Chain A
Amino acid sequence: DAGVIQSPRHEVTEMGQEVTLRCKLISGHNSLFWYRQTMMRGLELLIYFNNNVPIDDSGMPEDRFSAKMPNASFSTLKIQPSEPRDSAVYFCASSPLGGNTIYFGEGSWLTVV
Chain B
Amino acid sequence: GNSVTQMEGPVTLSEEAFLTINCTYTATGYPSLFWYVQYPGEGLQLLLKATKADDKGSNKGFEATYRKETTSFHLEKGSVQVSDSAVYFCALSLNTGRRALTFGSGTRLQVQP
Known: A56-B98, A106-B42, A106-B43. A101 touches B103 (CB 8 A): no
As a 0/1 sequence over residues 29 to 72 of chain A, the CB contacts with chain B under 8 angstroms (1 = contact) are 00101000000001101001000000110000000000000000
Of the A-B pairs whose beta carbons lie under 8 Å apart in the complex, a sample of 16, sorted by A's number, is A42-B103, A42-B104, A42-B105, A43-B44, A45-B100, A45-B102, A48-B100, A56-B98, A100-B32, A100-B93, A101-B49, A102-B100, A104-B44, A105-B43, A106-B42, A106-B43
* Interface size in chain A (residues, C-beta < 8 A): 20
Known: A42-B105, A43-B89. A91 touches B100 (CB 8 A): no
Q: Give A10 Cβ to nearest chain B Cβ, in Å.
A: 10
Q: Give A29 Cβ to nearest chain B Cβ, in Å.
A: 12
Residues of B whose CB lies within 8 Å of any CB of A are: 32, 34, 36, 42-46, 49, 51, 89, 93, 95, 98-106
Residues of A whose CB lies within 8 Å of any CB of B are: 31, 33, 42-43, 45, 48, 55-56, 91, 93, 95, 98, 100-107
Nearest first, the 9 closest Cβ-Cβ pairs linking A and B are: A43-B103, A104-B44, A106-B43, A100-B32, A104-B43, A42-B105, A107-B43, A48-B100, A45-B100
Please give 11 more A-B residue pairs, beta carbons under 8 A apart, in addition to A98-B99, A106-B43, A107-B43.
A42-B104, A43-B89, A93-B101, A100-B49, A100-B51, A100-B93, A101-B34, A101-B46, A102-B46, A102-B100, A104-B43
Query: Which of A55, A104, A106 is the most central at the interface, judged by chain B CB atoms within 10 Å of its CB?
Result: A104
